[in-house]
Amino acid sequence: MALARIRRDRGIDYWPGFVDALSTLILGIIFLLTVFVVVQFVLSQEITGKDTVLSRLNAQIAQLTELLSLEKTGKLSLEDELAQLRSSLVTAESDRDRLKGLYEGLSSGAATAHGRASELATQLDSQQQISARALAQVEILNQQIAALRRQLAALESALDVSEKKDKDAQSRIADLGQRLNLALARRVQELSRYRSDFFGRLRAILGNRPDIRVVGDRFVFQSEVFYDAGQATLKPEGRAELDKLAAALLDLDKQIPSDIAWVLRVDGHTDVRPIASTQFPSNWQLSAARAIAVVQYLISKGISPQRLVAAGFGEFQPIDPGSTDEAYSRNRRIELKLTER
């Protein structure tokens, strides 16, 4: 025992310090847990409060949405509601009168009847207030309807004025159209007179030749007068005939008033037999080239280009549907037509 005591006295005892350190650590952990629990509680309370506020706001939004829907529906059925309110008002007044009679006639139920009468009077006042608000809304709607009617009347008046102006304009247009038609008719008659004079003078100049004839309002030359077969170059004898034509045109240009827009249209025609040459791949091109050759020669003789028109019709406007040489000859032609531009 003495030896054991000596050994304990010589060693160091760590146990109390270890216990103190462990106690301190446990206390710190408990403190941290306590703080954590408190913070979690505070946060849960805060979140719960926010959820409550959010729920309340959502409920208010739902109520406002419902009120807005009811308000919209109420506007559509305001007159029906007003009629119902008036009917309820009449019923309430009837009930009040009936209860007053009961109140006066039944002394044993005076207290109960008085309470019922007071309740009905309150309901009646409430119905009257609702009716007053409905009447105010109806009055506003009536004012809006009156404003719309005034606008509609103004629009109808403006439309009537516009229709009247349109009728006046149409009347003036019709009058101007009639005047224009009359003026055009006079111009056409005047041009027809000059055309007759021109064709008469041209017939007198050219003489009675079988290859030159008048067909309706056109002067018709057979192509052989001006060209060789399949060619678009003017022959000397053809130029001589065109010299006579140019002289008559120059004389006519001096007589026709300048405000009459006349032209001499030169139309080239061929027969149905295709040409298909290197120079002229089709009858259409040959007929156009022949008409252009006549126009160019007349221009060289002093005729204004503004008074001349060249057109080629190929074989598509025959005057003789036959298939004989005589029919082919009749269809190969140059036509002159004095017309308006």
In a domain, 111, yes or no: no
CB atoms within 10 A of CB 60: 10
Higher pLDDT, 54 or 238: 238
How far is C-alpha 168 from the geometric centre of its chain's CA atoms? 28
d(CA 186, CA 209): 33
Burial class (CB in 10 A: 0-12, 13-18, 19+), 52: exposed
Q: What angle do CA 232, 218, 236 make, to 5 degrees?
A: 35
- pLDDT recorded at residue 1: 46
In a domain, 247, yes or no: yes
Radius of gyration of the chain (CA): 58
The alpha-helical segments, DSSP class H, found in the chain are: 2-10, 15-76, 78-105, 110-206, 236-255, 283-300, 325-331
- pLDDT recorded at residue 178: 66
Range with the lowest mean pLDDT among 66-75, 190-199, 303-312?
Answer: 190-199
Higher pLDDT, 113 or 154: 154
Domain count, the chain: 2
- Is residue 241 within 8 A of residue 226, CB to CB? The reply is yes
- pLDDT recorded at residue 92: 73
pLDDT tens digits for range 40-76 = 888 877 777 777 777 777 777 777 777 777 766 766 6
In a domain, 239, yes or no: yes
Q: Are strands 218-222 and 212-215 parallel, antiparallel or unpaired?
A: antiparallel
In a domain, 108, yes or no: no
Burial class (CB in 10 A: 0-12, 13-18, 19+), 268: buried
Give SS3 for 1.
coil
The reported pTM is: 0.46
Give SS3 for 279.
coil
d(CA 197, CA 251): 11
* Residue 214 belongs to domain spanning: 208-340
d(CA 9, CA 107): 113
- pLDDT recorded at residue 98: 76
d(CA 43, CA 61): 27
Q: From 76, 91, 125, give the residue that closes a domain.
A: 76
DSSP at 332:
S
Residue with tokens 């009629």: 83
* Residue 79: closest CA among 143, 128, 134, 129: 134
Q: From 35, 51, 76, give the residue that closes a domain.
A: 76
In a domain, 159, yes or no: no
In a domain, 84, yes or no: no
Q: From 37, 57, 76, give the residue that closes a domain.
A: 76
pLDDT tens digits for range 308-340 = 999 999 999 999 999 999 999 999 999 998 887
Which residues contact residue 329 at a Cβ distance below 8 angstroms, ignoring those fewer than 6 apart? 222, 224, 271
- Is residue 58 within 8 A of residue 103, CB to CB? The reply is no
Give SS3 for 235.
coil
CATH number for position 310: 3.30.1330.60
CB atoms within 10 A of CB 241: 19
Give SS3 for 269.
strand
**Which two tokens mark 215?**
């067909």
Higher pLDDT, 93 or 264: 264
- Is residue 278 within 8 A of residue 219, CB to CB? The reply is no
In a domain, 92, yes or no: no
In a domain, 118, yes or no: no
- Is residue 187 within 8 A of residue 260, CB to CB? The reply is yes
Per-residue pLDDT, averaged over 165-183, amounts to: 69
Range with the lowest mean pLDDT among 100-104, 107-111, 317-321, 324-328?
Answer: 107-111
C-alpha separations of 16 from 21, 22, 23, 293 in Å: 9, 10, 11, 140
d(CA 299, CA 177): 37
Q: Phi first, then psi: what are they for 54, rounded to 5°?
A: -65, -40
Higher pLDDT, 123 or 184: 123
For all residues of the chain together, what is the average pLDDT?
Answer: 79
